[in-house]
Structure 1
Amino acid sequence: MLDPELLERITARRAELDELEERPAKQLAEVRDERDELAVAERALERMSERPADERASAAPVPGQAGGHAVTLIPHRTSGVEGTALPPD
């Protein structure tokens, strides 16, 4: 006859080992996901840096609509864009 206490200890230890085995697998999956995200970000930055500067930042304000009202869109601040790119008061 098998000792029930011994079987319980074996089962508990097996459960602990199963949990320990799962941790590195989850961590590895998280690391791989983050590396994939970084690779996508890196490719996006490379594509953006390949575009000519005049294409990245339009110097002229662009008229637009927001909530049914006319608005002036202000270009993003980048190097080489001066205050003259802003619309007059």
Structure 2
Amino acid sequence: MDPEIQERIAARRAELDGLKEQLVKQLAEVRAERDELAVAERVWQRMSEQLADERAQAGSPVVQVAGRAVRVVPERGPGVLESALPAEYQRILAAVRAAGSPVATRQIGEALGVGTGVRGKLEPLRGKLADRGWLHKRPDGKFTVRP
């Protein structure tokens, strides 16, 4: 084989070996950073859940009624955010909002997975939020979310 060609091959091989080392180092750095991002994402998720729980608890105080802890549902008004409602009430609002049009109590119950065949299960839904101003009860008995 021609010595000049051998020299070029050896030079190219050395160049490629150097490039390979750089790429291996970059790949290790990329993997390390991706691992750090995954950890940061998990920490952020946990913190978000904790903050949401704290906000929900802080926004809706618990009082004792007949020896039982009961979460107070705030009246709708200026400065009172929906996040101040207990989770169950937020689900009711979300179900009414998702319907996109006025809904009957039965439809809300179905959306929430409440047994709609038992009248006693649906009755509490009727006044849960309408009495506190979060929902509007129309003359036809259907509900809409107040703007």
Q: Which amino acid aligns with 2:75?
A: A
Could you give the per-residue CA deviations for residues 20-49 of structure 1, whole angstroms, max 9, x where no partner exists?
Answer: 212211211111110121121122133235
Identity of aligned residues (%): 11
Match of 1:76 in 2: 82
- CA distance in structure 1 between the partners assigned to 2:46 and 2:55 by the alignment: 14
Structure 1: gaps spanning 5 or more residues: 63-72
Task: Please name the residue that 1:47 is paired with.
Answer: 54
Residue identity matched to 1:12:
L
1:5 aligns with 2:12: yes
Name the counterpart of 2:120.
Answer: none
- Give the TM-score, by structure 1 length: 0.59
Q: 1:46 to 1:86 in 2, by over 3 A?
A: closer
Q: Deviations over 1:41-75 (max 9, x none)?
A: 12213323544232xx421523xxxxxxxxxx675
Change (3 A) 1:33 1:74: closer
The residue that corresponds to 1:86 in the other structure is 133
> Structure 2-normalised TM-score?
0.40
Structure 2 unmatched runs, 5+: 1-6, 62-70, 90-124, 137-147
C-alpha distance in structure 1 between counterparts of 2:29 and 2:81, whole Å: 49
Q: Over aligned residue pairs, what C-alpha RMSD do you find? A: 3.1
Of the two structures, which has the highest relative contact order with CA contacts closer than 8 Å and spacing of 6 or more? 1
